[in-house]
Amino acid sequence: MYNAVMLNAVESSVELANLWNRVFGDDLSYVYRFYHHFQDKLEVLAQTTEEGEVVCATHFIPVGYRFFRREHKGSYLYAAMTAPEHRGHNLMGDLLKRRIRQAYQNGELFMCTLPAEPSLYDLYRRFGLEPTFSLHRATLTRERLTAMRLTLSFESRVSPGYAYDNSYARRELTVVKDRRFVEY
């Protein structure tokens, strides 16, 4: 038997971080920084066993967008995770249904996420989330970048914004700080 509960991310950070580490393999120091950074904003829904062990959790960060003068509030679903030995019991599905109902009652107009794997799109589709766009990422080597014949050298000391606005990249690639490029 499982229980759906709301958790305080800071008070439960050790249990949540250990589950996160088991499911995603991320370094614990990264996970603790995440909880510390979002501690005042983060909403965590979890499933626990009768013994109180956290076996499934979802993180929701409040977000919004402005369209003309109207602000629309929503939430960003992040790090949805279930311990491997507890999968197949619809734990995540139960949490998502609860949170979607709660969000609607609280006046949220949307929920968004960026699935880590293409297979997760089907999971989220079952709960009414629809793909609206996708990002494709690729890390480019200096050789591949040079072969693209950008108008400014990658080694240039000009700002990335200037390089982006004044190069072939503007039409084809978006330059991100860590030298990754997102095609659109």
Quote the pLDDT of residue 160: 53
Q: How far apart are the first and last CA of the chain?
A: 46
Residue type, 67: F
β-strand partners of 3 = 48
Q: Alpha helices, DSSP H only, in the chain?
A: 13-24, 28-37, 91-105, 120-125, 142-147, 160-165, 169-172
Q: CB of 11 within 8 A of CB of 5? A: no
Tens digit of pLDDT at every position of the chain (184 positions): 899 999 988 889 899 999 999 999 999 999 999 999 888 899 999 999 999 999 999 999 999 888 888 888 999 999 999 999 999 999 999 999 999 999 999 999 988 888 888 888 888 888 888 877 655 555 666 666 666 655 444 454 555 555 545 544 444 444 443 444 443 3
pLDDT of residue 149: 54
**What's the token pair of residue 172?**
């084809």
DSSP per position, 73-107: EEEEEEEEEE-GGGTTSSHHHHHHHHHHHHHHHTT
pLDDT at 28: 93
pTM to 2 decimal places: 0.69
Sheet strand arrangement including 136-139:
136-139, 180-183, 173-175
* Among candidate residues 100, 94, 102, 101, the one with its CA nearest the CA of residue 113: 100
